[in-house]
Structure 1
């Protein structure tokens, strides 16, 4: 039985940061357990390769949520990273910290040290921005690329149309305000993905005090009374046990962290007893409070060239492939979401409640049972997407059995509040306002999805229930808070009721933030590691 000072379960956006920070002094031995494999794969490193990894079970958990009445009965597809770097190795790379008010709400919920002004220096220390935006940091491990000069001409036209629809230009969504439209900042460097593994874990792996096991499926945390002592995991078909001299730290994200807590006997007592799992600490909040951003695309056939004409034919793929291999430039070197923005569905709102995404290509996701591949349409086309920033619908994630290899039950409970339905209705109407501007209307041949026959409020609601889905930002299933009856971890990220066990990942968010969650997940990793180190001093 091997022993380490710290055992980290999960090598994703937060786990990679935690591993780097806890090992930096050289005084502590660190073991990182990752269920997936290496991130040294071409389609992981190539930014646009996420079109391939989206349905690749070798790097992706490929979860399927429960049939959801709020989504017209659909069982939504939930890709999550199963690879070094976790979801930061397969995501769309958009770097948005979140709004100031989001983090101030965290602090106001009884979490001192988690307000915007507390966290801003942590964000800036992580960042290495190559553009003119003064809000982002320089010299940190996470390179953030300004892609304003990489826009496809059609994406520029969508951006112009959004301004004609009344949205101001915003060159920096991490600046003073999120409102407006402009280019996204991306986690890439020199044409390669800047995942958390590349920024943090790979440098840490060069240290003698860091050990990383891939292909290690953790079954449970082991306890002596209410003190975490280590973990049990399966690797190469064998069950192994390792012990932690100081702490076990769960960094599995909003799906796998609550799953492992329940498998380890921490969760709703009745649920665990029904599954034959001995209760270590009863906490009915484990796996509850799930929040996620829901998105939808409106798709158009165009009369000008889009990326479809480059990325669909074999010769186009060959040309952009050669460009990427030789120069690390071209459409393969950036995200498909080149730009977007934030807007208010009601001017009386104090801040934006919707996020936009501009895509100079169009494709239709395969339905359940169809071949799992994303292929551009054979005609020129583009999409304008949106997602809600702060939905009020709340779902849950729970284990189905005591088998760690069985996927948990994901119940998003989407569009279950009138608030969420009403603001999405207003939002999709605004998409058509953008499409109807002078700039875009002359480029559009027809609206393909949902189509011109979808006009009434009832039809629009039916459509977005059927076609909306996760934009891959699940949070809050191990919510942070001071009250153990309303949360899973305390403000220092220690699991309530037990010792030497923390959760450090996006599952601890007290509430969902406005925008993409990868930046905030890395921040939580850095903040959480600092809390651990403070207690060692």
Structure 2
């Protein structure tokens, strides 16, 4: 049994990508006693580890919190599923495995907004510190870290043709999206090892499970942070049906993500006064920005029926196709079961006035109405395109002081007119690419949203009808020094000593790409800053911290 009275040096809340990194780095010094708390369970569900198994993890309450958004007026009143990982590794256990850093300009803008130390030149070494890249060491990559990056192990003719069609439209083929400028088209690199998902639990936790100064508990629902004379001093949580108070003598680090971290702050009485008072929560420290600034990538899933080729639709809907996929994967961990959800990507400007690529494509050799439903029975591919830098902003707030009550998630998609304009441009660009000579042999026929929709108003309507989240929520504990910012550039919660947030929620603006690996980088930087800021505290323990469960 872990001690609830003897203080830990560090308590980390959330064992997603950020929490796993921090647990590894902070416990590397045997003098630091670290407690890692995860609300979900073990990452031992077989479909987590087979790459195509994301189809069986998203929407599955065993692996996904299965959150829902509020009805979105910008999406014709639809409510969307909002997947978040519910196991060790967090969303890295159910995501698309794409290794993506974003653009250099993303981080330079963070620094320019008053966050020193977060420019591209500052964070590139942190990306490299974690990375174990298949290509070896270079100016932009490292092979010494734990975060394995590999090339994909399977390709489809329809995807090669899309890449050629993109080139016919001035979108050059590239081999690496992670050198600071990701404009171009090519195959994504992925977090896999030999055809198996490589989540943050495997990378950062499993190698250190025997450290005697690290305790890892799963199934722990954190309620709030306790304050003593204004300083964070303990975490109050429910574990094994009982309330526990986990004391801390140095710092508490919230790594519960853009949904979980603002909720813990709000239940602790740290957040917007009107919300807390309405819920009967005593205001311990007013921070109006907690839960605000929510940003996400809304993808428009354009689906095209094709001829003269096979896609995963036919393979997965055939008994012999399924048998063949299984045998191929058992033989050499390749074939369709080794596929990331999206294999081919592209980054491009929606219009010439954009300073850098503001659209990202995830091109898939499959189609379905929505995640969790069967693949279509006709051959097809999906060209999903998202606005990388949306201007629409939403909120995530608790509905109750009870941590078991799901939060209110309101992304406010397509509420900014500029986002509607970019959506229409994205649909037009996709149609130009698909109508190019390289794809004509496959006779692509637009299934969604439908070729009859042509006017600006019709394309806005199409975006509202087919838009869905690509699962990249960020920003709800924004970093900065303004009146609506939650943490400073060292990720310390404004006005609360001993409390930091280190996850995707601290992003001032969303990065131009997938968000998992930037979250790993945020945790690397957080670990450095925490260790730099650590006071010299003598070890006053009288009993030994238990080994991990």
Q: Do they superpose with TM above 0.5?
A: yes
- Specify the alignment match of 2:538 in structure 1: none
Residue 86 (structure 2) aligned to one of 54, 64, 82: 82
Q: By how many angstroms is 1:498 displaced?
A: 1.0
Equivalent pair of 2:347/2:359 in contact (CA under 8 Å): yes
Is structure 2 residue 495 aligned with structure 1 residue 497?
Answer: yes
Give yes or no for contact 1:188–1:334 (8 Å, CA) kept in 2. no
Equivalent of 2:60 in 52, 56, 61: 56
Which residue number in structure 2 is paired with residue 335 of structure 1? 340
Partner of 2:206: 202
2:313 & 2:16 partners in 1: Cα distance? Answer: 32
Q: 1:353 aligns with which of 345, 353, 358?
A: 358
TM score, norm. by length of structure 1:
0.96
In structure 2, the residue matched to 1:314 is 319
1:370-519 paired onto structure 2 within 5 Å: 373-483=372-482, 485-519=483-517
Provide the residue aligned with 1:139 in structure 2.
144
Partner of 2:285: 281
Paired residues, number: 529
CA distance in 2, matches of 1:398, 1:245: 29
Cα deviation, residue 229, structure 1: 1.1
CA–CA separation in structure 1 for the residues paired with 2:316 and 2:137:
31
CA deviation after TM superposition for structure 1 residue 133, in Å: 9.0
Measure the CA separation in 2 of the matches of 1:41 and 1:517.
Answer: 23
Tell me the SS of whatever aligns to 2:428.
helix
Whether the aligned pair in 2 keeps the contact of 1:302 and 1:446 (CA below 8 Å) is yes
- Give SS of 1:400's match: coil
Q: Select between 266-275 and 130-139 the one with higher mean Cα deviation.
A: 130-139
| Deviation, structure 1 residue 207 | 1.1
Aligned to 2:525: 527
1:18-66 deviation digits (Å, cap 9, x = unpaired): 1100001111111111111011221111111111001111111111000
Instruction: Give a deviation string over 1:188-239, Cα, whole Å, max 9, x none.
Output: 1111111111111222322111111111111111111211111111122221
Map 1:84-163 to 2 at 5 A. Answer: 84-131=88-135, 134=138, 135-147=140-152, 150-163=154-167
Contact 1:52–1:374 (Cα < 8 Å) also in 2: no
CA–CA distance in structure 2, aligned partners of residues 351 and 137 of structure 1: 26
Partner of 2:174: 170
CA distance in 1, matches of 2:223, 2:31: 28
CA distances 1:461-509 after superposition (whole Å, capped 9, x unpaired):
10111210111111110001123x2300111111111111110001001
CA contact under 8 A between 1:354 and 1:389: conserved in structure 2? yes
* CA–CA distance in structure 2, aligned partners of residues 445 and 126 of structure 1: 41
Distance in structure 2 (CA, Å) of the matches to 1:351 and 1:111: 22
Taking structure 2 as the reference length, the TM-score comes to 0.94
| Stretch moving more, 79-88 or 333-342 | 333-342
Greater CA drift, 282-291 or 347-356: 347-356
Please give the per-residue CA displacement for 1:80-129, whole angstroms capped at 9, x wherever unaligned: 11110000110001111010000001111111111110111010111111
Question: Of the candidates 253, 272, 276, which is equivalent to residue 272 of structure 1?
Answer: 276
- Mapped to 2, the partners of 1:487 and 1:431 lie a distance apart of 37
Asked whether the 8 Å contact 1:295–1:471 carries over to 2, the reply is yes
Say if 2:380 is the partner of 1:363: no
Name the structure 2 match of 1:42: 46
C-alpha distance in 1 between matches for 2:445 and 2:224:
53
1:222-241 alignment runs, 5 A limit: 222-241=226-245
Name the structure 1 match of 2:546: none
| C-alpha separation in 1, matches of 2:222 and 2:341 | 34
Alpha-carbon deviation of 1:314? 2.7
Distance 2:396 2:534 in 1: 33
What residue in structure 2 maps to residue 536 of structure 1? 534
Distance 2:147 2:426 in 1: 33
Deviation larger for 380-389 or 124-133: 124-133
SS at match of 2:422: helix
Conserved 8 A contact 2:69-2:410? yes
Moved more, 164-173 or 86-95: 164-173
Q: Which runs of 5+ in 2 are unaligned?
A: 536-549
